Structure 1
Amino acid sequence: MKSLPTATGRECWTVVRALLRPRRKQAALAVLVLVAAAALGLAGPLLLGEIVDRIDDDRAASSITAPALGLLAAALGEAVLFALGLILISKLGQPILATLRERVVARALKLPAEQVERGGRGDLLSRLGDDIAVLSEAVVEAIPPLAAASLTLALTFVGLATIDPRLTLAALLVVPVQLWALRWYAKKAGPAYAAERRISGERAQAILDVVGGAKTIRALGLQPTALPRVEARSLSSVAAVVRTIRISTHFSSRLNLAEFVGTASTLVMGYFLVKSDSITVGAATAAALLFIRTFDQFNIVLGTIDEANRALAALARLVGVLQVPEPPPPVPHPGAHVSLDKIRHAYDDGPVVLHDVDLHIEAGERVAIVGVSGSGKTTLAKVVARFHTPTSGTVDVGHVALVTQEVHVFAGPLADDLRLAAPNATDAQLQAALDAVDADWAKLDAVVGHGGVELTPAQAQQIALARLHLADPKIAVLDEATAEAGSAGARVLERAADTVLQGRTALVVAHRLTQAARADRIIVLDAGRVVEQGTHDQLVAAEGAYAALWHTWSQDRA
């Protein structure tokens, strides 16, 4: 299984920069407010140092009133500006995230279906679900405080320089230790978080496979083999999370060492500067407080850097979807005929599924495809529907629509679901489509799908056929569109299919041979090759593969 690509850091930055470009003024305002908040934060230690000096000079108690009031005003101003800066960054990030989400979803909808299947639907769903959730959480909870803390750290060293540049040099002794810690962390964290997100996608795929195939698993008693696969993927996901937590813990211990080195060097330098009368005791106190204040900022960075790294890994997976080249849309011919010449198809490096298949369907002709399971019926239908691009051969098809046995009913009013096929359709046209498929149970204002009325498989398929009627394609492909219904439901769906296929060119993968019998022509596939074709009567009289299938079918229903 080949997953969708993951973007590089440069590709991610290119996308983020493009998203930021129309919001430059808003971003500049947010940064300006955070810088002002950080500057006011520096005033606290400096004013405390001033208070120390006035007390050391034996001044009157009233002399500390002004700096004390200034300290209070600075604290309040810092809190207000800091909160405002976080709000501005959050308001900046959410529209950017919404735009990114829309672009990723739009690109995902344009990806070749075979590419999505190769990577596994779980991988794509994990990106559109889990990764977007991780990034959304980081935009609100991690990135704003991380940005504010980073600015505060930078301005702290500026504050130390205003007291005495030598204090800055002493404090900078922390940098080599921090760089050592960061280098270790960057080497470990990036791959670990990327692996965590990838394994999360694999876990989602395993769960999706088991849930989607639950009926088959229960029917065949495959629980002893299916469930351990989910368990193994889940345990791998847990192990990946534990690895990232262990890396974070070791990173924290290295930063604690950096704090010790920085504090000790600042205190020692302050002592010697005071002893040489280069600075006052209050200035040395302010310098120590400034540096100790950075501990809180380091803790914020430490507390959010994990979320930021997880968000960067999620961003790389989302941007990776955007990096997939958008395939040129197939150019349909204006007619209603189908022409396939020398079609060969294989899935990735697997065996050839279709072998030099020629298929020509005249306008208005209805052709049925029959064959045993694994003969290539669905693959051929999806090639005609442009769902798959064949490995070789030429496909010439007009405006085509595909209805499969897997039907999704979108949550919301039924009218909105139907208008996906015809956005400008009136209520009268929607009702006419429902009438065409005998959906007398359906109400346009009924809420269907998740959270609404749960439809039976036959009812869901009626909705799919009604969408086909509204879309009004010249060519329709039905891939076992009645397979999930019971006998009574199948008869209703077959009548509905006959109605919506009237006047259209149609290719029907026949799950029930009664559908094939009503077709203008029947094509029999065996191991990816066309072995017979003709009308129902001709093929029954020929006593070949189709006749054997028909006799078996008839006996089973006798």
Structure 2
Amino acid sequence: MIGVAPPEHDPAAPEAAAILPVAGPATVRGYVRGLLRRHRRAFVLLVVCNAVAVVASMVGPYLLGGLVEELSEGSGDLHLGRAVSLFAVALAVQTLFTRMVRLRGAVLGERMLADLREDFLVRSVALPPGVLERAGTGDLLSRITTDVDRLSEAMREAVPELTIGLVWAGLLLGGLTLTAPPLALSLLVAFPVLAVGCRWYFRRAPSAYRSEAAGYAAVAAALAETVDAGRTVEAHRLGAHRVELSDRRVAQWTAWERYTLWLRSVLFPVVNMVHVLLLTAVLLIGGACVLRGWMTVGELTTGALLAQMLSEPVGIILRWYDELQTAQVSLARLVGVHEIGTEDGDGAVRPDGRALRAEDVRFGYRAGSDVLHGVTLDVPPGTRVALVGPSGAGKSTLGRLLAGIYGPRSGAVTLGGAELARMPAEDVRRHVALVNQEHHVFVGSLRDNLLLARPAAGDGELWAALRAVDAEDWARALAEGLDTEVGSGGAALTPAQAQQVALARLVLADPHTLVLDEATSLLDPRAARHLERSLATVLEGRTVVAIAHRLHTAHDADLIVVAEDGRISEMGSHDELVAAGGAYAALWRSWHR
């Protein structure tokens, strides 16, 4: 067929924007089967109610066919009263069960949608932290918002309606075959046309819808990143570049939108043609059969009415199956997190001790471009290590590997002899915690924000944690103390206060190993120094890896590690490194000027 060609692939095309995987057909089918098994009783009830409604709707054609048969035979008694009474009863039954079908279908859809949302949230939270950190903001947002919105309609309407259409069409075909078997030959005329049209459409539609969804994710990513980094965009005069990028992404997305619209504009005329062909074939075949005495006029009338009724369920099936193409893509994107490998409790490794070690670690954010080059570092339990070095030396990257956020490309990072990359994320977080420059205050009370770290903590423990990070005074000054609403729409916390809340969560979480990546960067130097002294008691006995540009942190450390160009260039105590006159000594002198 001649028409709109699919957009050509572009290196910056939307498909490349998604970082989290998209589930394959086998994973999606398995998930759907599991979802239906969970709700099989409601699904069976929906099918039964629908079958009753369809059978009731078929009473009318059979009654009318009987009346036509009596008229054709010259009967003077048509029993109109009985026919009208039966039709009224059938109509009442059809109305009642159709209402039940709609109600049961909507309830079933909402329950399956709730299960899907919960499954996605639980699975996402259990993903390895490095996977989530590398996932684009736009990709995550589009899955949680756009894909869920698309699935909402599918779950509420498409799944119930498709079930209704399939049962309806099946019963009508059965009734047509039983009433007048020769009329079933009309299906051989109409359905091949439908099969060819559907095959043409559905060979192209799934991939087109996937590209359309990926295109929207790319648009969302470009817009979200521009808004989040608005000040940086202005400072570096990147506005025109970001607008051009957004325009290109929007153009790619709308190109796929136009292509999928064109596909539908071909399919639906084919469907309408099939309806006309089916009814025409029924009348022609039935008329020939009546003339030869192979069929009565009443049977032809009933068969023609049933064939006419087929147009509605076939239209429902195709319309909602088309909607399910979009929903299937959204479902594959949501279920895609199931294809990310995570160790379960039975096969996972367990640490035997608290010694932290990086051995010949190489790591890069892009293939062929390593940030760390053969780094080896031993951190005995209870040691306070300071990672220092110029910007871009790989300090934060090494810190994230030591915290189990990323896994090395080669080499190994182990805790107590167990590779962090092979440990479940929950186990890693129980042993090692990362606090960096990024912080978040969730919408809710201050108490709720702190209980995220330890849900069973009492008020005394919460105040003790706040006291440990010098946050007790301003927290008690809040209008309702721990019950004060903070975050968007609540009491506004300063960046420094938000960082103290993050550190208080760390105190409550109580891990034995901490990685602090500029954890006090949002505080002024005097306040930061005071806070670090207050935290000293809390950190006593723990393994601490501190990444900082403020070298007073390094001065207090047991071991100073100097990183340069992705390699460790020096290790030792403050006095040893100053005396050595190397890179650290130069940093120390420049910091004191």
State the TM-score, normalizing by the size of structure 2: 0.86
Worse overlay, 166-175 or 442-451: 442-451
Contact 2:109/2:157 (<8 A) preserved = no
2:411 is paired with a residue of what secondary structure? Answer: strand
8 Å Cα contact 1:189/1:244 also seen in 2: yes
**Residues 65 and 301 of structure 2 are in contact (CA less than 8 Å); yes or no, is this contact kept in structure 1?**
yes
**Structure 2 residue matching 1:343: 3-state secondary structure:** strand
Aligned equivalents of 1:254, 1:23: Cα separation in 2: 35
* Structure 2 CA distance for partners of 1:390 and 1:235, relative to 1, 3 Å: same
Alignment deviations for residues 231-252 of structure 1 (CA, whole Å, 9 cap, x no partner):
3222222222222111111100
**Alignment partner, residue 149 of structure 1:** 165
Q: Which of 516, 519, 524 is equivalent to 1:478? A: 516
Say which SS state the counterpart of residue 391 (structure 2) adopts.
Answer: coil
Q: Which residue of 2 aligns with 1:441?
A: 474
CA contact (8 A) 1:462 1:493 kept: no
Structure 1 contact 368–523 (Cα < 8 Å) conserved? yes
TM-score in terms of structure 1 length: 0.91
The aligned runs of 1:455-534 (5 Å cut-off) are 455-485=493-523, 490=528, 494=532, 497-498=535-536, 500-534=538-572
Whole-Å Cα distance in 1 between the matches of residues 82 and 463 of structure 2?
78
CA distance in 1, matches of 2:564, 2:53: 74
Q: Quick check: 1:33–1:85 contact (8 Å CA) kept in 2?
A: yes
Q: How many residues align?
A: 555
**Paired residues of 1:355 and 1:529 also in contact (CA < 8 A):** yes
Aligned to 1:418, which of 430, 450, 454? 450
- Counterpart of 1:361 in structure 2 is 379
Match in the other structure for 2:422 = none
1:372 aligns with 2:390: yes
SS of match in other structure, 2:404: coil
8 A Cα contact 1:185 1:251, kept in partner: yes
- Find 1:160's aligned residue among 176, 198, 214: 176
Give the equivalent residue in structure 1 for 2:426: none
Equivalent AA in structure 2 for residue 445 of structure 1? D
Instruction: Give the % identical residues.
Output: 40
Distance 2:449 2:49 in 1: 46
Matched, 1:383 2:404: no
Taking structure 1 as reference, are residues 320 and 449 closer, same or farther at Cα in structure 2, changes over 3 Å only? Answer: same
CA positional deviation for 1:34: 1.3
- What corresponds to 1:170 in structure 2? 186
- Counterpart amino acid of residue 178 in structure 1: L
Distance in structure 1 (CA, Å) of the matches to 2:219 and 2:255: 12
Which whole-Å CA distance do the structure 1 matches of 2:492 and 2:169 have between them?
56
Counterpart residue identity of residue 515, structure 1: T
Q: Secondary structure at the match of 1:444?
A: helix
* Aligned partner of 1:239 among 219, 235, 255: 255
SS of equivalent to 1:438: coil
Bigger drift between 340-349 and 241-250 goes to 340-349
Query: Whole-Å Cα distance in 2 between the matches of residues 222 and 495 of structure 1?
Result: 41
**Partner AA of 1:205 in structure 2:** A
Q: Which residue of 2 is the match for residue 111 of structure 1?
A: 127
User: Which residue in 1 is equivalent to 2:61?
Assistant: 45
State yes or no: 1:286 paired with 2:324. no
Q: Distance in 1 between matches of 2:282 and 2:494?
A: 73
Q: Which deviates more from structure 2 when the two are superposed, residues 59-68 or residues 488-497?
A: 488-497
TM-superposed CA distance for 1:437, in Å, is 1.5
> 5+ residue gaps in structure 2?
1-15, 417-430, 476-480
- The answer to whether the 8 Å contact 1:437/1:499 transfers is no
Give the Cα separation in 2 of the matches to 1:273 and 1:187: 39
Worse overlay, 253-262 or 536-545: 536-545
d(CA) in 1 for partners of 2:152 and 2:537? 47
In 2 relative to 1, CA 486–145 (structure 1 residues): closer, same or farther, beyond 3 Å? farther
Higher mean displacement: 458-467 or 434-443: 434-443
SS of the counterpart of 1:173? helix
1:263 to 1:78, Cα distance in 2 relative to 1, 3 A? same
Structure 2 letter corresponding to 1:305: Y
**Is the deviation greater in 134-143 or in 510-519?**
510-519
Distance 2:459 2:77 in 1: 82
Q: Which residue of 2 aligns with 1:548?
A: 586
Query: 1: distance between equivalents of 2:200 and 2:531?
Result: 63
- State which drifts further: 48-57 or 10-19: 48-57
Shifted more, 214-223 versus 48-57: the winner is: 48-57
Whole-angstrom CA distance in 1 between matches of 2:21 and 2:142: 13
CA distance, structure 1, for counterparts of residue 167 and residue 490 of structure 2: 49
- Residue in structure 1 matched with residue 44 of structure 2 by the alignment: 28
| Contact persistence 1:458–1:493 (CA under 8 A) | no
Q: State the alpha-carbon separation in 2 of the partners of residues 454 and 245 from structure 1.
A: 46
Letter in 1 for 2:394: G
- How many Å separate the matches in 2 of 1:550 and 1:423? 43
Residue 8 of structure 2: aligned partner: none
| Cα drift, residue 186 of structure 1 | 1.0
Native 8 Å contact 2:105 2:157 kept in 1: no
- Secondary structure at 1:375's aligned position in 2? coil
Deviation at 1:145, TM superposition (A): 1.2
Q: Residue 456 of structure 2 aligns to a residue in which SS?
A: coil
Residues of 2 paired with 1:234 and 1:550: CA distance? 50
1:195-206 matched pairs, under 5 angstroms: 195-206=211-222
Compute the displacement of 1:303 (Å).
3.1
Deviation at 1:460, TM superposition (A): 1.7
Q: 1:328 to 1:346 in 2, by over 3 A?
A: farther
Q: CA deviation at 1:354?
A: 1.4
8 Å CA contact 2:46, 2:101 repeated in 1: yes
Provide the rounded CA distance (Å) in 1 between the counterparts of 2:523 and 2:246.
29
**Larger displacement relative to structure 2 (380-389 or 405-414):** 405-414
2:156 counterpart (110, 128, 140): 140
Question: Which residue identity lines up with residue 426 of structure 1 in the other structure?
Answer: G
How far the C-alpha of 1:90 sits from its partner, in A, is 3.4
2:339 counterpart of 1:323: yes
**Between 226-235 and 493-502, the greater mean CA deviation after superposition:** 493-502
Structure 1's 283 and 382: CA in aligned 2 closer, same or farther, altered over 3 A?
A: same
- Whether the aligned pair in 2 keeps the contact of 1:458 and 1:490 (CA below 8 Å) is no
Evaluate the alpha carbon distance shift between residue 490 and residue 71 of structure 1 in structure 2; reply closer, same or farther with a 3 A threshold: farther
How far the C-alpha of 1:495 sits from its partner, in A, is 5.2
The superposition leaves residues 331-355 of structure 1 with CA deviations (integer Å, 9 ceiling, x where unpaired) of 4545444222322222341322112
Question: Alignment partner for residue 200 of structure 2, among 164, 168, 184?
Answer: 184
Give the RMSD, CA atoms, in angstroms: 2.6
Residue equivalent to 1:228: 244
Q: Deviations over 1:21-50 (max 9, x none)?
A: 243333222211111212112222222333
Which residue, out of 247, 255, 275, partners 2:271? 255
List runs of 5+ in structure 1 lacking aligned partners: none
Change (3 A) 1:77 1:455: farther
